[in-house]
Each structure stands twice: as C-alpha cells, then as structure tokens.
C-alpha cells in the first residue's frame, strides 16, 4: 500500500444505498425490495449476483503461506526487497507467472517504465466465460526498498494467487470471464495499474464489470475493513462507481457468515482500485490496516492491542513472514475465493418481458374507463422538454427516442399539456410470467411545482389474481424537478400468473403542475 501523501483518486459516480427488506406495501417513492438509483443507471451486467452461484472452496492457509515463504526467499536473495526496478521484483513476477502458466492460465508480463526502470504487471486470464463481462481481481506485488513486503503486499498477492490456482484445480467454468492481475510499482504511486488502465481501449474498459483489490490482508494487529462501495459510513471521498456497493455486499456476506464484524474503509486513492474507479469501473476489496492506530473500540470489536498500529512493520525491514496474522490471512483468502465464486459463477438474470416504447406493443390508456384527467394523458412518443422553475418534462429518454409520457408536447407554457383535472392511467398488454424469482424494473420520474400536494401522485401497480402497488410517489408543496430514476421490485408472488402493469399519474390538487414519464420497463428472472 502506497504512502498516504500521494494524491488520492476520487470516485466519480454515485451509487444508491441498499434498501431494507421490503414491506408488504411500498413506502412512498420506494419499490418493495428496491434499490432506487439516480440516473444514469449503470449497474453492470455482472451484478447483482444470484443464488445460482456455485459454493466457494476453502482456501488452504498452508498454501497461501507457502507463497509468502517463496516471496521472502526471493527478497532475501535479492538485497532484502522486491521493489520496482530491483531484481527481487522481476523474480517475484516470474514466480507468479510460472505457477499460472503451469495451471493453464493465459498470462503476460506487461512492461512499463517508471523512474527510469522497467516495471512489470502480471496479467492472467482464465479461459472461458463471457468476454464482455469481466471480473478482475488484483493485488500489488512490489515491496518498498526498505524490506521484503510480506504483509504489504505479499499477503494480498498470495491470497489471489492461491484463489487463481484453485480456479484451475477445480476446472471452474465461470459465467463471467476471470482475469487476475499482480501490479508493479504500486509503492511508487499506482504506476502499474495506472499504466494498465490508461492503455486499455475504451471498449475493453467497458467489458470490465468489476474490480476487486486486496492490499494488506494479514496485518498483525488486524482490523477487518471492506471498501465502502456505497459510502454507508458517510465520510471521506464518497462511494465508488455504480456497482461498487454490490461488490461490498458480497464481501460483507462472507464475513457475516463467519461471524466477523467489519467496518467500511474509504476509497482514498492509496491502492490499485484508484485507476479503475477513476474511469467508472466498480471496485471493492478488503484491508486489515496499515500504519494507522487501532482504537479501543476497534480492539473491543476485533481483539488485538489498542493504541498500536495495525501493522507496526509497515514499510519497514521487519515486514517479513514473521509479520503475518494467520487468522486474518486465512479469513481474507477465503473472502477472495467467496467473492470470485459468488460473482463469477452467478447466472445473469434472464429477461422475461421488456418494453423500451420504441414501437407500439399494446399499452391501453384509460383501461377501466374511469380516468378524469382532461389534459396530460399518458401517451407513447418523443417528448418535448418543458421548464418551470426547473425541468418539468424531460425531452430526453433513457433509451431510444420514445417513452411513456403525460402529454408529450411542450406547448406555449409548461402547464399547457401537463396532467390536469384528475387521474390518467395506462396499462400494459398481458404478460405471462414463468415460475421463479422475478423482478420488475423501470425508469421513471414525477415532477411538479410548489403548488402541488400529497393529493397528486405517480403510481405503479401489478395486476394479476391480486393487485399490488409497487411504487407510489406522492406530490408535495415543494418544487420537484424531473430526473430519471430507476428502481426494481420483487414480484415473485405473481410467478406463474398472467399480469398487467398499471401506471397512473394524478393531478388532484388545485392548479398544480404535474408531469410524469416512464421508460425501459423490464421483468427478469
């Protein structure tokens, strides 16, 4: 892990927090079981994981420690370190590459130049999986010049190396494509990982749907930290790119399963996730602490000694194989394998039904013949933008040219074609649902002026043998500008039924301005 005085890399894209368990009826503005997300909605195809993932193996601690012994021997034979530009680093890279070559990985030593010396990244791809859906797992392999760097970061390097070798031993056939990386010159400022990301064509970057980073996972006075993908701790540089919260959740699931409490650690730019999050690639990982001091509260939580550093040998010559906490190393190595198996073998959701509104598919306005609105009736079309103290009807859609909108024209003023006089509704064609776990997702907005009230609303219901309201957003006496949001709901209770989706918007306040839109409705299994 590099020194704190290096410039941090800030996360660029916000991600929504995870929602609590769903009530029987949605709270206002929230779908049951939903994760509301602010536009742009960009959760990668690799996430979320599903229950179809294969169970992860136990990573043998003895094997991980054997790799550390080899890295220690390499350092001892090469001036006491494995630093960038020194012979100990290249020997370390060749050790890792040799094992991966023999195991059946496709590997390369990617060279780069930093500080007038040649550095190397080891990149290893496991054959198979969707090449457009890549899960990448990385750790930096170099040490500082002062010592052999066995905790920092032989520990992360050995943990992901043994996980990769387990992939080969089990002949894993993941749904995602698996790529492992050991970075050079991290201690000089993330030089190897930055070189890798900078030299990826944009199309190749877009194929990496998640990056997991493991840097210092066996600190002797260990803490158990997970990169805070959704900024649930509410401090520091904020959340990672959309999808980081799901990576955090997977790692959290593992530690919860073994009864080990964790705390969030910030994306502060000190390790190799930095270049990935800077280009919007979701990231996550674990960390057991560096030069920071363990607090009394942390000692009560995890044991160890309060008032002492998590790793008192951080960046020192004493960072040897004697500087390893076996329990922390064992737990974190298993966490690496759990994340890899859970994410990489998960079966992506299958689309049961979808509508982007680019063509007419049989939606019916006023299906019950009870609508009362006189203008702003739901229609499919290319919307025109309106503005009244801010955007009220969006002229841009989530995809394509058309959406469902309450009166697509702008008119001479913002209120010409908004919802007036009561309720307008539109209903989907009949949708026959299969059995299994089903989720409904849609992009939507509700906008209104400050003359609105809770009598106004936007509502989505699923109508089958019963009717369930899955989203209800009431108005309020405040200005609400239009902005696309995306939400999902569990509709598994309708499995095996033929259902319709009913969407309503209402102007039931006096002289209020109400606009609403819907796009990209989808049901997945």
Q: What is the pLDDT of residues 2-19, one digit of tens each?
A: 654 333 332 222 222 222
- Spell out the alpha helix ranges (H) of 303-448: 326-344
Q: Residue 422: helix, strand or coil by DSSP? A: coil
Side-chain-facing half-sphere of 184: CA atoms under 13 Å? 30
Mean pLDDT of 220-232: 84
Alpha-carbon distance of 265 to 108, in angstroms, equals 32
Q: Does the reported pTM lie above 0.75?
A: no
The four Cα atoms 16, 394, 506, 495 give a dihedral, to 10 degrees, of: -50
| Residue 147 near residue 317, CB atoms below 8 Å | yes
Residue of 125, 156, 149, 143 whose CA lies nearest to 59: 156
Mean of pLDDT values over 383-408: 96
Residue 268 to residues 1, 112, 272, 278, 379: CA-CA distances in angstroms?
Answer: 12, 25, 11, 12, 47
Residue found by looking up tokens 């030299």 in the block = 199
Angle at 393 between CA 391 and CA 397, to 5 degrees: 105
81 has a pLDDT exceeding 80: yes
- Return the ∠ at Cα 29 (arms to 23 and 35), rounded to 5°: 70
Give buried/exposed letters for 186-207 (b at 16+ CB in 10 A, else e): bbbbbbbbbbbbeebeeeeeeb
pLDDT in tens, 228-277: 865 555 444 455 676 788 899 999 999 999 999 999 988 888 899 999 99
All residues at 6 or more sequence positions from 272 whose CB lies less than 8 Å from its CB, including other chains: 138, 139, 140, 183, 186, 190, 192, 193, 213, 215
| Mean pLDDT to the nearest integer, 447-455 | 95
The torsion angle over the Cα atoms of residues 470, 474, 480 and 485, rounded to 10 degrees, is: 0
Q: Does pLDDT of 28 surpass 90?
A: no
Residues 470-493 have a mean pLDDT of 94
Report d(CA 6, CA 268) in Å as an integer: 10
pLDDT value at 436 more than 90: no
Average pLDDT in the 200-223 region?
A: 96
**Gap between the Cα atoms of 488 and 523, Å rounded:** 9
Residue 288 CB contacts under 8 Å (≥ 6 apart), including other chains: 216, 217, 218, 219, 222, 223, 224, 225, 310, 311, 325, 328, 332
**Residue 42 scores a pLDDT above 50:** no
Q: Specify the length of the chain in residues.
A: 525
Q: How high is the pLDDT of residue 55?
A: 85
What are the residue ranges of CATH 3.40.630.10 in the chain?
A: 46-344
Residues 186, 212: Cα–Cα separation, whole Å: 16
Asked whether the beta carbons of 78 and 88 are under 8 A apart, the reply is yes
Which helix (H) or strand (E) segment is 213 a member of? strand 208-214
The token pair at 110 is 């990617």
In what helix (H) or strand (E) does residue 302 lie, and over which residues does it extend? helix 296-302
Mean pLDDT of 408-424: 93
**pLDDT tens readout for residues 121-166:** 999 999 999 999 999 999 999 999 999 999 999 999 999 999 999 9
Model confidence band, residue 301 (pLDDT cutoffs 50, 70, 90) = very high
Kindly tell me if the per-residue pLDDT of 37 is higher than 60.
Answer: no
Q: Which CATH architecture has domain 46-344?
A: 3-Layer(aba) Sandwich (3.40)
pLDDT for the residue 52? 52
In this prediction, residue 186 carries a pLDDT of 97
Please check whether residue 241 is in contact with residue 278, taking contact to mean a CB–CB distance below 8 angstroms: no
Q: Do residues 152 and 227 make contact, with C-beta atoms less than 8 angstroms apart?
A: no
CB of 466 closer than 8 Å to CB of 498? no
Q: Which two tokens stand for residue 473?
A: 């957003």
Q: Average pLDDT, whole number, for the chain?
A: 88
What is the percent of the chain where pLDDT is above 70? 88
Beta-carbon contacts of residue 332 (< 8 Å; ≥ 6 apart) = 155, 159, 214, 217, 218, 286, 288
Residue 308 has pLDDT above 90, yes or no: yes
Is 351-524 a domain of CATH 3.40.30.10?
A: no
Asked if 99 and 122 touch (Cβ cutoff 8 Å), the reply is no
**C-beta separation of 34 from 23 below 8 A:** no
pLDDT band with cut points at 50, 70 and 90 for residue 379:
very high
Q: What is the 3-state secondary structure (H, E, C) of 48-78?
A: CCCCCCCCCCCCCHHHHHHHHHHHHHHHHCC
- Condensed to tens digits (0 to 9), the pLDDT of residues 278-295 reads 999 999 999 999 999 999
Q: Is a pLDDT exceeding 50 seen at residue 363? A: yes
Q: Of 101, 199, 96, 105, nearest to 142 (Cα)?
A: 96
Residue 36 has pLDDT above 50, yes or no: no
Q: Which residues are paired to 47 by β-bridges?
A: none
The string of DSSP codes covering 74-143 is HHHTTTT--BTTSHHHHHHHHHHHHHHHHHT-EEEEEEEEETTEEEEEEEEEES-SEEEEEEEEEEE--B
Supply the residues annotated as catalytic.
186
20 falls in which pLDDT band (50, 70, 90)?
very low
Helical packing angle, 61-76 and 156-169, nearest 10°: 130
Give the range among 37-51, 309-323, 426-440 with minimum mean pLDDT.
37-51
- Report how far residue 82's alpha carbon sits from residue 67's, in angstroms, rounded to the nearest whole number: 14
């Amino acid at each position: 892990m590099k020194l704190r005085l290096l410039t941090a890399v800030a996360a660029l894209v916000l991600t929504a927090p995870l929602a609590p368990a769903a009530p029987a009826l949605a709270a206002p503005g929230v779908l049951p079981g939903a994760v509301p997300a602010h536009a742009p909605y960009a959760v990668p195809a690799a996430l979320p994981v599903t229950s179809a993932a294969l169970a992860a193996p136990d990573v043998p601690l003895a094997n991980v420690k054997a790799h550390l012994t080899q890295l220690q021997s390499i350092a001892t034979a090469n001036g006491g370190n494995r630093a960038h530009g020194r012979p100990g680093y290249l020997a370390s890279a060749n050790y890792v590459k040799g094992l991966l070559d023999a195991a059946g990985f496709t590997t390369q030593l990617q060279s780069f130049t930093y500080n007038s010396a040649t550095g190397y990244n080891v990149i290893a791809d496991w054959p198979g999986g969707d090449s457009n859906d890549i899960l990448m797992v990385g750790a930096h392999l170099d040490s500082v010049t002062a010592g052999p760097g066995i905790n920092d970061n032989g520990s992360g390097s050995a943990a992901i190396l043994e996980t990769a070798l387990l992939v080969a031993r089990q002949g894993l056939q993941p749904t995602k494509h698996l790529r492992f990386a050991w970075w050079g010159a991290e201690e000089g400022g993330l030089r190897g990982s930055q070189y890798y990301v900078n030299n990826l064509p944009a199309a190749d970057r877009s194929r990496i749907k998640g990056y997991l980073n493991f840097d210092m996972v066996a600190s002797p006075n260990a803490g158990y930290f997970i990169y805070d993908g959704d900024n649930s701790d509410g401090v520091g540089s904020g959340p990672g790119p959309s999808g980081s919260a799901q990576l955090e959740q997977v790692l959290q699931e593992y530690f919860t399963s073994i009864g080990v409490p964790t705390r969030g650690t910030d994306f502060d730019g000190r390790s190799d996730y930095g270049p990935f999050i800077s280009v919007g690639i979701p990231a996550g990982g674990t960390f057991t602490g560096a030069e920071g001091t363990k607090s009394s509260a942390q000692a009560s939580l995890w044991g160890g000694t309060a008032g002492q550093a998590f790793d008192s040998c951080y960046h020192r010559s004493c960072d040897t194989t004697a500087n390893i906490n076996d329990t922390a190393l064992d737990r974190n190595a298993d966490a690496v394998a759990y994340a890899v198996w859970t994410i990489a073998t998960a079966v992506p959701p299958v689309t049961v039904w979808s509508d982007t509104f680019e063509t007419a598919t049989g939606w019916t306005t006023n299906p019950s013949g009870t609508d009362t609105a006189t203008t702003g009736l739901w229609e499919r079309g290319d919307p025109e933008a309106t503005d009244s103290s801010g955007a009220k009807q969006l002229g841009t859609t989530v995809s394509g040219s058309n959406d469902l909108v309450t009166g697509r024209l702008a008119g001479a003023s913002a209120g010409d074609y908004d919802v007036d006089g009561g309720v307008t509704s539109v209903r989907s064609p009949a949708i026959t649902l299969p059995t299994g776990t089903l989720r409904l997702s849609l992009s939507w907005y509700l906008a209104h002026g400050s003359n609105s009230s809770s009598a106004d609303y936007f509502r989505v219901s699923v109508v089958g043998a019963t009717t369930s309201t899955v989203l209800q957003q009431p108005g309020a006496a405040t200005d609400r500008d239009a902005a696309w949001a995306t939400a999902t709901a569990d509709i598994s209770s309708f499995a095996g039924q033929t259902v319709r989706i009913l969407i309503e918007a209402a102007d039931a306040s006096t002289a209020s301005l109400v606009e609403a839109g819907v796009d990209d409705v989808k049901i997945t299994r």
